Amino acid sequence: MILSDCNSTPPSVNEDAIMKSKTSLAIGMIAASVLFSLAFAAQTPTASPPAGKPANRPIPFHGMVSAIDQKSKTFTISGKEATRIFKVTEKTIITKGTGNAKFTDIVENQEVSGAYWRN
């Protein structure tokens, strides 16, 4: 069964314009939210530390002692890739075997290993 209201009138021009503006507003808001979310997702996160920043851990070394300078308290290690010079300070801890050692215990042509902190 179909019922119809004989007294109903078609929507006026004003109501039609209001409906179009509401629809346009809704579509515009949806488009703006999609564009905003895409732009936000495209940003790169900055949580990772820069590559040049030093790590918070000691740097290991291993090699053969090639030279010792008792006066300046330095020793040189000949490694596979490069020759490096290490300075011994008051904070340096030197061990030989399981016991403590002194700087004078370091001799040439002796294999050494350890770790240091970058300044």
Tens digit of each residue's pLDDT (9 = 90 or more) over 9-44 = 666 667 878 888 888 888 988 888 888 887 777 776
CA dihedral over 52, 84, 91, 73, signed as positive or negative:
negative
Q: What's the whole-number average pLDDT of the chain?
A: 81
Question: Which one, of 99, 97, 73, lies nearest residue 86 by Cα?
Answer: 73
Q: What is the DSSP letter of 116?
A: E
- How much is the pLDDT for 48? 62
Give the whole-number percent of the chain exceeding pLDDT 90: 15
> Which residues contact residue 20 at a Cβ distance below 8 angstroms, ignoring those fewer than 6 apart?
none
Of 110, 109, 62, 105, the closest CA to residue 86 belongs to 62
